């Protein structure tokens, strides 16, 4: 079964018809040619496909495109304006928070989403004091970024990059 939907992707309005079984990730990658979000597992287990979906980080392999008619999607590509990088992206380069780069767009989107969550006072598993302001200690950053796997093992540099932006 097909459905027509409209997505706003990195500031561009994109209308398309999708098989209702198509994930948001496949709609972006295979239908719209938006390949900044990566497919690492297709099961919500690795975080490579993370984008900002209506402002929040989301794994796009785990949701169907048809459920997001009208949604706003920001990918790592859209976080940068041309060659002018988002501060999180700049920090990833400064700290070499990547090797093969495959997990990286997802890490970057996840970090941007996570910083907003922390600023809004959302607690995490390691937050000692459940209410109020979250201090982004390294432990908090590691916990909040653990949905994004990196087989190259760039974690210490990713944490350093996020720490720099958070402070």
Partner 1 sequence: MTTELVTVDLLHFHAIGVPLERADGTIKVTGRAPYAFEHPVTEPVYLHPVQATVARGRVTGADTAAARALPGVIAVLTHENAPRMVSGDDPELWVLQSTEIAFRGQFVGAVLAETLEVARHAADLVRMEYENLPHDAELDPRRDDLYAPDVLNAGYPTDTAEGDVDAAPAAVTIDRTYRTPMEHNNPMEPHAVIALWAEPGELLLYDSSQGVHRVRGALATAFGLDPGRVRVVSPYVGGGFGSKGSAHAHHALAVLAAQAVPGRPVKFALTRQQMFSQVGYRTPTVQHVRLSATADGRLTAISHEVVEQTARLKEFAEQTAVCSRMMYTAPNRRTSHRLARLDVPVPAWMRAPGEAPGMFAAEVAMDELAVACGLDPIELRARNEPGTDPVTGRPWSGGRHLVECLREGARRFGWDPRDPTPGVRRDGEWLVGTGVAASTYPRHLLPGNRATVRYTPDGRYSVLIGAVDIGTGTWTTLAQIAADALEVPVGAVALEIGDSDLPQASVAGGSSGMSSWGSAVVAAARAFRARYGEGPPVGAEASAEAPAEPGGDFAADSFGAQFAEVRVNADTGEVRVPRMLGVFSAGKIINPRTARSQFIGGMIMGLSAALHEESVLDPRFGHVVNHDFADYHIAACADVVDIDAAWLEEVDPHANPMGSRGIGEIGIVGAPAAIANAVHHATGIRVRDLPITPDRLLTHGLL
Q: Residue 49 binds which one of partner 1, ligand FES, none, with CB within 5 to 8 A depending on kind?
A: ligand FES
77: left (phi over 0), alpha (psi -120 to 50) or beta: alpha
Q: Residue 118 binds which one of partner 1, ligand FES, none, with CB within 5 to 8 A depending on kind?
A: none
CA–CA gap between residue 50 and residue 106 (Å, rounded):
5
Residues that bind partner 1 (CB under 8 A): 19, 21-22, 26, 29-30, 33, 35-43, 45-46, 48, 75-77, 79-80, 83, 85, 89, 92-94, 96, 98-105, 108, 138, 141-143, 145-146, 148-159
List, as own/partner pairs, every contact residues 123-127 make where C-beta atoms lie below 8 angstroms and the sequence separation is at least 24, other chains included.
Answer: none
Task: State the nearest-atom distance from the C-beta of 38 to ligand FES, in Å.
Answer: 7
CB neighbour class for 116 (10 Å; exposed up to 12, middle 13-18, buried from 19): middle
- Per-residue mark of binding to ligand FES, 2-41 (x: CB under 6 A): -------------------------------------xxx
CA–CA gap between residue 21 and residue 53 (Å, rounded):
19
One residue of 58, 64, 73, 103 binding ligand FES per CB under 6 A:
103
Pick out residues in 41-80 that bind ligand FES (CB under 6 A): 41-42, 44-49, 59, 61
Q: How far is CA 43 from the centre of its chain?
A: 15
């Amino acid at each position: 079964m097909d459905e027509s939907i409209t997505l706003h992707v990195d500031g561009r309005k994109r209308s398309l018809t999708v098989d209702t079984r198509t994930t948001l990730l496949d709609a972006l990658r295979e239908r719209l040619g938006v390949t900044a979000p990566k497919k690492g597992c297709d099961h919500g287990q690795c975080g490579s496909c993370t984008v900002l979906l209506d402002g929040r980080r989301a794994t796009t392999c785990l949701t169907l495109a048809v459920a997001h008619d009208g949604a706003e999607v920001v990918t790592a590509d859209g976080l940068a304006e041309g060659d002018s990088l988002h501060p999180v992206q700049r920090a990833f380069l400064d700290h070499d928070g990547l090797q093969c780069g495959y997990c990286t767009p997802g890490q970057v989107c996840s970090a941007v989403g996570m910083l907003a969550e922390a600023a809004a006072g959302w607690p995490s598993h390691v937050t000692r004091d459940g209410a109020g302001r979250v201090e982004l200690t390294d432990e908090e950053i590691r916990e909040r970024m653990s949905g994004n796997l990196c087989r190259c093992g760039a974690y210490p540099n990713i944490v350093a990059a996020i720490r720099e932006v958070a402070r």
